């Protein structure tokens, strides 16, 4: 569960969080100045929970994930705390982080083609992690990799193991990324736009696959997407981010049917629905996000908000909107 800015942390029902992010900031040094990409994220994920992070392009979703994994670009710096089972990942050295990455926490990226090594066969890439992280023999690792390829519903698994990435379609490559991500039975899978590069029917199939695997292994998933439509059937909870800040956190149904933040409502209303007539125009949110090199004071959404009023020149703290929901907005309730 996410935490309000000013109160004691909330804990998921009776369960201890698996991952607890506290006041996470990511800054990049650039010739133009310091880019404030992530600005004080606070959230936690319980074992087996699927939490989606939703926001427009450039809102800091990927950099949040990369900061958790210790994979920021050279010019990036993360501060705050990323607590995994009692230890702050931001304070770990490379060796400690490597043993957690790929083993306890795995990440799958938007573009499988860029994440797979073009010079190694699928089998070699899949088994390497098992031999290294799980100390399996090569034949044990081959058997596990083959089994995992079956699980992600790839046919001819033995043949696939001998193939190179370029011999496979985008959908097959993404299945392989998921299989690789789940090989070590991680407790947390971070999936960054896992289906964006794929066509719609393959997308639905891959999403279903992730949910089946989640049920089977009880893996928690941090699902990153700019498409609120995708999370409807997948996530338990949703965090809406804007300019690297959390705007709202809520169980998925509440966010869809009773959003409390003007930005969340704009996102919800821009999702195409099956019952929508073709002549109903989607409401995109007019305007652009703030310049991350020069963040404005007050509410970051102010320039685009149709309800902005005098209080909005002060920065809104995250507060409870309902028992299990949080919002960063000065409005007591969202006008119709
Ligand atoms: N190495 C870098 N140097 C400077 N700025 C960077 C760097 N990497 C990312 N950024 C900036 O950080 C901000 C957040 O980027 P991020 O990749 O997290 O966006 P995102 O929400 O994942 O967007 P998308 O939906 O397009 O993937 C962007 O403004 C981006 O330009
Ligand atoms: S704080 Fe003000 S500007 Fe920001 S979202 Fe709420 S009403 Fe709009
Ligand atoms: Mg991204």
Per-10-residue mean pLDDT of the chain, 336 residues long, equals 54 72 97 97 94 94 96 96 94 90 85 85 92 88 92 89 94 88 88 82 81 87 87 92 96 94 92 58 77 93 96 96 95 90
Residues 6+ apart with CB under 8 A from 260: 248, 250, 321, 322, 325, 327, 329, 333, 334
pTM over 0.85: yes
C-beta 35 within 6 A of ligand 1: yes
Tell me the best of 259, 286, 307, 315 to mutate to test the pocket of ligand 2, counting ligand atoms within 8 Å of each CB and taking the most.
307
What ligand 1 atom has the least distance to the C-alpha of 241? 21
**pLDDT at site 294:** 92
d(Cα 1, Cα 236) in Å, to the nearest integer? 11
For atom 26 of ligand 1, the residue with the nearest CA is 57
What's the chain's Rg over C-alpha atoms?
A: 20
CA 303 to centroid of ligand 2, rounded, Å? 9
Q: What is the pLDDT of residue 277?
A: 54
d(CA 173, CA 171) in angstroms, rounded, equals 5
């Amino acid at each position: 569960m996410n935490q309000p800015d000013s109160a004691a942390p909330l804990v998921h029902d009776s369960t201890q969080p698996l991952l607890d992010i506290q006041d996470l900031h990511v800054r990049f040094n650039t010739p133009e100045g310091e880019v404030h990409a992530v600005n004080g994220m606070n959230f936690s994920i319980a074992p087996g929970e699927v939490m989606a992070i939703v926001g427009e392009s450039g809102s800091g979703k990927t950099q949040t994930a990369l900061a958790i994994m210790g994979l920021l670009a050279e010019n990036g710096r993360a501060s705050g705390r990323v607590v995994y089972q009692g230890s702050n990942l931001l304070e770990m050295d490379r060796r400690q982080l490597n043993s957690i990455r790929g083993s306890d926490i795995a990440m799958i990226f938007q573009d499988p083609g860029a994440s797979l090594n073009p010079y190694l066969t699928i089998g070699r890439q899949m088994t390497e992690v098992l031999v290294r992280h799980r100390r399996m023999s090569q034949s044990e690792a081959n058997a596990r990799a083959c089994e995992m390829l079956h699980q992600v519903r790839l046919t001819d698994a033995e043949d696939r193991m001998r193939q190179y990435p370029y011999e496979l379609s985008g959908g097959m490559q993404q299945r392989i990324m998921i299989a690789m991500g789940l090989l070590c039975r991680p407790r947390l899978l971070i999936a960054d736009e896992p289906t964006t590069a794929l066509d719609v029917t393959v997308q639905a199939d891959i999403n279903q696959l992730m949910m089946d695997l989640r049920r089977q292994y009880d893996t928690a998933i941090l699902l990153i997407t700019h498409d609120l439509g995708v999370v409807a059937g997948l996530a338990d909870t949703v965090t809406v981010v804007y300019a690297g800040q959390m705007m709202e956190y809520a169980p998925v149904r509440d966010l869809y049917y009773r959003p409390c933040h003007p930005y969340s409502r704009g996102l919800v209303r821009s999702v195409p629905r099956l019952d929508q007539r073709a002549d109903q125009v989607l409401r995109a949110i007019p305007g652009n996000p703030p310049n991350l090199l020069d963040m404005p004071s007050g509410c970051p959404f102010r320039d685009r908000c149709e309800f902005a009023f005098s209080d909005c020149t002060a920065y809104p703290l995250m507060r409870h909107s309902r028992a299990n929901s949080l919002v960063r907005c000065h409005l007591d309730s969202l006008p119709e």
